[in-house]
Structures are given as C-alpha cells and as structure tokens.
Amino acid sequence: MKNRLLILSLTLLILPVMAEGQPATDDIVSSCILSAGENTTYLKDFRIQLPKATPGGIAPVYKANLYLMKNMKYRFSVCNAPGSNGDLVITLYDQGKELISSYNRDTGKKYGSVDFVCNKTGLYTIWYDFVNGEQGSGVGVVCMIR
Amino acid sequence: MTGTITKIAAVILLASICSCKNSGPRQGSLSFPVADSVPAGEAEKLSEEALADIVQNIASPVEIASILQSMQVPFSAGYLAPTREADKLTTNFQKAVMLGIYGADLGYLNIYEKTGNSVEVLSTIKRLADGLRVGQYFDFETLKRLSVSKSNLDSLLFLSVNSYNQIDRYLRDNDRGSISALMIAGVWIEGQYFATQVALDNRDEILRDRIGEQKIILGDLLMLLRPYSTSSSEYQTLYGMMENMSRKYADVRVSYRLGEPETAEVDGRLVMVQHEESIVEMSDAQLAEIAEMSKEVRNTLISGI
C-alpha cells in the first residue's frame, strides 16, 4: 500500500515538472494568433526557447529563413510564455541588412508586433532573441494582413 | 501486486514522455521499419537546416487562395481533386502525394470558408494519414468541429498547418524524408494548379507575379526531391515531370529595382513599407506553357503514376 502511494505521488509530482520543461504549447500559439488582430490570417508559428547568454558572450538567437512575397503584407507577432524571464524580440533581415525589429535598442521601446509591406519577393531571415540575452521562451507568429 | 503497480506507473511515465515530445520542436522518437524509408547511403542527404528552410518556404496554399479571393475569383469545386478515388490508392508514394494535394485543397476551402464542404476532404486526409501511420498528428475531430461550426478560421488554419508540420517533422525525424518530400511536393503542385488555371482566365498582375516567382521555389523543391529521385520508378517519373516544369520556367526572368524602405508608427504598431522591388518578366506564351505543364503533372498524380 505504501509502495502504491509512493509511486502514485511520484508520478503526480513528476508529470507537471516534465510538462513545464516543454517549449511553448499550442495554447500560447493560439492566444498569440488571436493577439495579431482580426484582419489577419495565420501562416506560420515559431516556438522559441533560448538559454541565458553567458557573461560576455553573444546572446543566443533563433534564426529561420522565410520567403516573403511581393504585394503581401505580413504581421510578425511575438508573445512570451508564462514564466519566461526575457521578452521575445523579432528582427527581420534582408541579405544581412536589418529591416525592422520589435525592439528599439536605442530607446528600449518594445512592440508586440510589427508589420512589413513586402515589395520584393525573396528569402528573408528572421531572428528571434530575448531582450538583454535573458533566458526565455515564447512564440513568434507570422500572419498575412488581409 | 507491487510489481504490477510499478509497471503501470512506468507505462504512464513512458507514455507521458512520448506525448510531451510531440509538442516539442522535434517530434517523436519511435521508429519502426518501413518500406518507404530510403537508406542514407542511397540518398544524398541534405542538412537538417537546409531541409527545414525548403519546407518552410514552399508557397503556402493559404497565400495563393487568399490572392484568388482578393481577385474576387468565385470559389469553384471544379479546382478540387476528387476524393472518390482515394480509397483505391495503394502505394505510400500515392498516399503521400495525395495527402499534400488534399492539404492544399483544404487550405483553399478554408480561405473561402466553404468549411461545410471540407468534411469530406478532412475524412480523406485522415484516412491517408492513417494509411501512412501518421494519423496520430491529425486532430480530425477538432478540425471537423471547427469546419462544421465555421467558428474560427484562424484556429482551423492553425490546426491544419500544425498537423501537416507535425507529420512532416515526424517523417523526417524517422528517416521517412522521402514520404515527407512527396507530401510537400503535393501541396506545391496543387497550389500551382489553382494559380495557373485561374491565371489563364483572369488577367491579374499579382497572380502572374506569384506564378513567375515559383521559379525560385521550384528550384528548392527539385533539391528536396533529388536525393530520392532514383529510389523508385514512381519517384523517377515525378522528378522527370518536375524537371520538365523547371525547363518551362527557364526563360522567366526575375529582376530587382533598388529603393529605400520607409518606417512609421501607425496606431502604436511599427510598420515598414519596402520600396525595393522585384519584377517578374513572363510572357503569355510562357504562362500558358507553365499552366499546361502544371495541369499535366497534377492530373497524372491524381490518376496515379
């Protein structure tokens, strides 16, 4: 009987811990899609989980290449997972040149989303990182603006 | 008795570990011998990063359907692949290609909010996914409920796209990249079919540009299929047809005009308007040839190679 209780207790204790260790779930993605606004259509999502930057080191970054199409308007939204230490930032690059970012490093201003009116079809790179290289997890959602 | 309880707890833990993995960025750790896996020695493997890039960048049927809708092109069930033959598909090659084709059809139906019509397509997708042993990633009941209730387009799109992404990741993680590549090809071919058939009857520069720009995407798709191109006669035929399509694109030109972007804050949101521009040069004759080839490839696949 004691063994049974012990095993059940351990199972109940371990399961939530394991679940918490997972990257952002579908629930966060869903709420992030909703936060993008009514005039948008969901296209893609990226689930980000990055460690804290080492002292003096470069902040960890999640990079993805994405074709964006001419005559399309895109909205890039970022949402932090509950318990995330850092604030998620999206930065869009075209051939190594920064186009737009949801975080202004000079003023410290943060945006929950940024819009990009695309006139050149091509391969762009999106970078996701956390402000000041903090540890964090969150979701980046790409939507098309109708 | 204690031993039985220990086993039950172990099974619960194992099941939870497996199910938790499914929500992570890399799904699944189970592997089983399958006839459709191509040994690494036979396939010139692309890096995981290169594969992810290609898969991410195959044109979304949702974007194509959205352009058609913005052109006020009425919905036409005639563009959809028939579902009645789906039960007769016997090979994994056919099932995987058709899974992609029906996926694009689902995107088209969703964007036009013909969600009542999509139940049949959803049922077919579920059967094909089960046939390929990836049905566990397809939340059929929720998708059906969202379709019937017409409640939330974004949720429907998210679940559809997410199911396909999970299937793709699972297949690639389990050395079934050849099947994943076929599914991706199917999505692209059906999207290309929609776009070209509509473009023949409706002159629209945005749609023409989109078709011309597929020259770049087609190059990526060929790269994705190439490692498996000699793995079977079916694959060889598909690859040959895609190469023919690529030849039709040979003289389509994509050039660029420079311009400085403008950034402004609009209603508390940062907006950038890009003034650098891409320009597609494609003649009517080239478009007609590409459309014909797209139709031929798609119809060959639907009738079974």
Predicted pLDDT of residue B59: 56
For residue B34, give how far its alpha carbon lies from the nearest alpha carbon of chain A (Å).
29
Residue A12 placed within a domain? no
CATH number for the domain harbouring residue A113: 2.60.120.380
Tell me the pLDDT tens digit for each residue of B6-21: 333 433 333 333 333 3
CA B279 to chain CA centroid, nearest Å: 26
- Structural domain span for residue A45: 23-145
Touching A: B residues 134-173, CB under 8 Å: 153-155, 157-158, 161-162
d(CA B304, CA B91): 10
In chain B, where does DSSP find H-type helix? 2-21, 48-57, 61-70, 92-111, 118-131, 140-149, 153-173, 177-201, 205-225, 233-248, 284-303
Q: Is the predicted ipTM greater than 0.90, yes or no?
A: no
Mean pLDDT score of chain B, rounded to an integer?
A: 81
Lowest-confidence region among B24-33, B79-88, B114-123: B24-33
Average pLDDT for A23-45: 82
pTM score, whole prediction: 0.77
Residue A62 placed within a domain? yes
Q: Which residues in B lie closer than 8 A to residue A23 (C-beta atoms)?
A: 23-25
Predicted pLDDT of residue B146: 76
Residue A28 placed within a domain? yes
Q: Pick the residue with more confidence: B138 or B232? A: B232
Average pLDDT for B165-182: 85
Long-range contacts of B88-93 (CB under 8 A, 24+ apart): B88/B304, B89/B128, B89/B131, B89/B304, B91/B234, B92/B35, B92/B36, B92/B131, B92/B132, B92/B179, B93/B36, B93/B182, B93/B232, B93/B234, B93/B235, B93/B305
Q: Which residues in A lie closer than 8 A to residue B57 (C-beta atoms)?
A: 65-67, 123
Touching A: B residues 175-214, CB under 8 Å: 206, 209-210, 213
CB proximity B223 to A under 8 Å: no
Residue A130 placed within a domain? yes
Residue A51 placed within a domain? yes
Predicted pLDDT of residue B54: 66
Q: Which residues in B lie closer than 8 A to residue A115 (C-beta atoms)?
A: 266, 269-272
Tell me the pLDDT tens digit for each residue of B226-255: 999 999 999 999 999 999 999 999 999 999
Number of domains in chain A: 1
Residue A6 placed within a domain? no
Predicted pLDDT of residue B23: 34
